[in-house]
Amino acid sequence: MLKRFRTDTFNWILIIGLILLIFEIIFFHGGALFQVFFSALFLYIGWKNFYKLWGKILFWIFLISFIFSLFNILAVRFLIVTVLVLWILDYAKKKKEDEFITPTLPGEEVKQGTIIQMEPLFDHTLFEDQKTEETAYGWRDINIHSVFGDKIIDLTNTVLPNDTAVISMRHFMGNIEIYVPYEVEVSIHHSSVFGRAHILGEHHWKLMNKSLFYQTENYGRSFPRVKIITSIFSGDIEVKRI
């Protein structure tokens, strides 16, 4: 269904949802949003301690609380209703459409070249720790967003390309650890609302809504090199050489 609607349609839906969210914060003091954040915090604590009995109890209690808190947000209700309306409209439209096949003349199709679908190192996840393999693995650039969990990337177990490798991560809550070989040049651009940063010997013990940018001396003229772009709402980042 989603493929049948233009990007502009979804952009307008997101804009209206954002306006409703701001409206709720201004006129209702963001009470439902506080409940969502509070539930998400204890949901994460329960998930991190899920192997314990109290962790399981905490996780399931606040998972239910998190879901009900989401439904209390006006913008979320709007998005749910909008998705249902779009689904009904899409279903009605497909019923009216007549399927037909357009013949393709020989030589009419223009070849775009051969492409290969690659398996990414990391997938988008909500509640999961992720780390690279402890044995040798082939490098693929990383571009993910996630909600909860720790991310560990060990570049010593792979061979980086002789140009710029890219690691881009947008994370809500959890820690990021990146291990870099000594011969690899590094550029790090990190943004954090709450957390700490330990980057190649530079320590920031208290980050509050701050961005950091570091790069090694020969980054602009030496290869291989890795460009790291990370964004965390609450969590620590550590980039070190091993």
List pLDDT tens digits, range 67-93. 888 888 878 888 888 878 877 877 777
Mean pLDDT of 28-45: 79
* Both structure tokens of 80: 């749910």
Please give the pLDDT value at position 101.
53
Find the angle CA(233)-CA(74)-CA(171) to the nearest 5 degrees: 15
C-beta separation of 164 from 227 below 8 A = yes
Residues 22 and 30: their CA atoms lie apart, in Å, by: 9
Better pLDDT: 7 or 90: 90
Mean pLDDT of 175-187: 92
Mean pLDDT of 187-213: 89
Please give the pLDDT value at position 14.
75
Q: 80: how many CB neighbours lie within 10 A of its CB?
A: 12
Least confident among 56-60, 67-71, 126-130: 126-130
In this prediction, residue 114 has a pLDDT band, given cuts at 50, 70 and 90, of confident
3-state secondary structure of 120: coil
3-state secondary structure of 118: coil
Residue 98 has pLDDT above 70, yes or no: no
Percent of the chain with pLDDT over 70: 85
Please give the pLDDT value at position 195.
86
Residue 193 has pLDDT above 90, yes or no: no
Least confident among 38-47, 179-188, 222-231: 38-47
